[in-house]
């Protein structure tokens, strides 16, 4: 009977699909950004000689920031590879906060007259807010799974 | 007049760090909630899509059965089958409209009215089907 069919149909839920490709790529790029910055800071600390970094370096030594960045990179990279939502949210939060701190440090350098280029705080703060925007979004999109499921069904019919 | 940023920059960066962590936590929470809302909506849509498919199959089965009875020799049964066809056609029309306007309240009401018609028809002409 139609009522029974309708009730049965509504009880069948769509399984949450895996992480979207968009989220995976975003995490992979964020991971590369943090790992490269962190590793360069660890291996070649002399390259961070711009006076713009002085407020950040006065707050904590370079190796400390390098470890923070490496940690964010590892978390984002592991999330991109495994598709694990918890790791992804940890990585994005870590990435957003660490980028925000550096952006704020460069902004302070503007007021202390130590900033060597005005683009530094603009870019770092923009990337930080971009990370925050991603934090507020779903990492997995159930609609993509649904669309894929319906597309497969239509292909079978076609 | 110059402002001494020495200790203040450390304090501001620490404050920014804490603020950033709290914001990230709250935004992540919001993202998770948003995801749950989308998941429920997707389940609802999937349920409707699944229901539409099953309903189509059911209608086709009934239609084939009606055609078979109409082509039979029993005139009384053929007349009965024509009445069934009329009710089924009415239902299919409402159902097709509903499929095209899944979220329309008017289409839902029309489909529900057609469904009531079907149930009335079944209870009057085919009480054995409801048993």
Interface predicted TM-score (ipTM) of this complex, two decimals: 0.76
- Substitution target in B16, B40, B112 with the highest count of A β-carbons within 10 Å is B16
Tell me the pTM. Answer: 0.66
CA angle (A151 as vertex; A146, B89 as ends), nearest 5: 90
Q: How many domains does chain A have?
A: 1
- For the cut 50, the answer to whether the pLDDT of residue A11 exceeds it is no
- For the cut 60, the answer to whether the pLDDT of residue A137 exceeds it is yes
Chain A residues with CB inside 8 Å of B118's CB? 2
Chain B residues with CB inside 8 Å of A101's CB? 13, 16-17, 20
CA dihedral A64, A60, B16, A69 (to 10 degrees): -20
**Of B16, B46, B55, which is closest to A13 when you measure between CB atoms?**
B46
B59 CA: distance to closest CA in chain A (Å): 9
Which own/partner pairs from A111-119 qualify as long-range (CB within 8 Å, at least 24 positions apart)? A111/B3, A111/B5, A112/A54, A112/A55, A112/B5, A112/B9, A114/A51, A114/A52, A114/A54, A114/A55, A115/A51, A115/A52, A116/A50, A116/A51, A116/A52, A117/A52
User: Between residues B57 and B111, which one has the greater pLDDT?
Assistant: B57
| Structural domain contains residue A89 | yes
**Domain housing A36:** 20-136
Q: Which residue, among A99, A147, A97, A145, has the nearest Cα to A126 in the 3D structure?
A: A99
pLDDT in tens, B65-90: 888 888 888 888 888 888 888 888 88
CA distance A4 to B108: 17
Report, in this order, helix, strand and coil percent for chain B, each rounded to 5. 90, 0, 10
B32 touches chain A (CB under 8 A): yes
Q: Which residue, among B88, B24, B34, B102, has the nearest Cα to B56 in the 3D structure?
A: B88
CA angle (A150 as vertex; B52, B60 as ends), nearest 5: 30
Residue A53 DSSP label: G
CA distance B115 to A152: 30
Residue of A nearest to B11 (CA): A59
CA angle (B25 as vertex; A103, A99 as ends), nearest 5: 15
Tell me if B35 and A55 make a contact (CB, 8 A cut-off): no
Mean pLDDT for all residues in chain A: 84
Where in chain B are the domains? 35-130
B6 touches chain A (CB under 8 A): yes
| Structural domain contains residue A53 | yes
| Structural domain contains residue A111 | yes
| Structural domain contains residue A146 | no
| Structural domain contains residue A66 | yes
- For the cut 90, the answer to whether the pLDDT of residue A33 exceeds it is yes
């Amino acid at each position: 009977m139609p009522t029974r069919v309708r009730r049965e149909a509504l009880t069948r839920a769509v399984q949450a699909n895996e992480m979207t490709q968009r989220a995976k790529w975003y995490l992979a790029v964020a991971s590369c950004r943090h790992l490269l910055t962190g590793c360069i800071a660890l291996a070649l600390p002399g390259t961070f000689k711009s006076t713009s970094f002085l407020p950040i370096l006065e707050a904590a030594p370079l190796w400390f920031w390098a470890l923070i960045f490496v940690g964010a990179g590892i978390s984002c990279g592991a999330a991109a590879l495994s598709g694990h939502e918890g790791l992804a949210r940890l990585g994005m939060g870590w990435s957003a906060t660490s980028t925000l701190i550096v952006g704020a440090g460069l902004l302070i350098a503007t007021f202390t007259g130590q900033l060597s280029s005005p683009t530094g705080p603009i870019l770092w703060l923009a990337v930080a807010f971009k990370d925050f925007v991603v934090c507020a979004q779903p990492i997995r999109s159930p609609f993509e799974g649904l669309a894929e499921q319906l597309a497969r069904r239509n292909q079978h019919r076609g | 007049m110059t402002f001494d940023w020495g200790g203040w920059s450390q304090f501001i960066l620490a404050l920014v760090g804490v603020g950033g962590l709290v914001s990230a936590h709250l935004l992540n929470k919001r993202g998770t909630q948003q995801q749950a809302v989308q998941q429920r909506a997707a389940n609802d849509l999937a349920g409707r899509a699944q229901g539409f498919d099953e309903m189509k199959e059911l209608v086709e089965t009934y239609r084939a059965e009606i055609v078979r009875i109409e082509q039979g020799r029993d005139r009384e049964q053929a007349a009965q089958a024509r009445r069934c066809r009329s009710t089924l056609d009415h239902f299919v029309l409402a159902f097709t409209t509903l499929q095209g306007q899944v979220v329309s309240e008017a289409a839902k009401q029309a489909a529900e009215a057609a469904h009531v018609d079907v149930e009335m028809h079944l209870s009057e002409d085919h009480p054995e089907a409801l048993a």
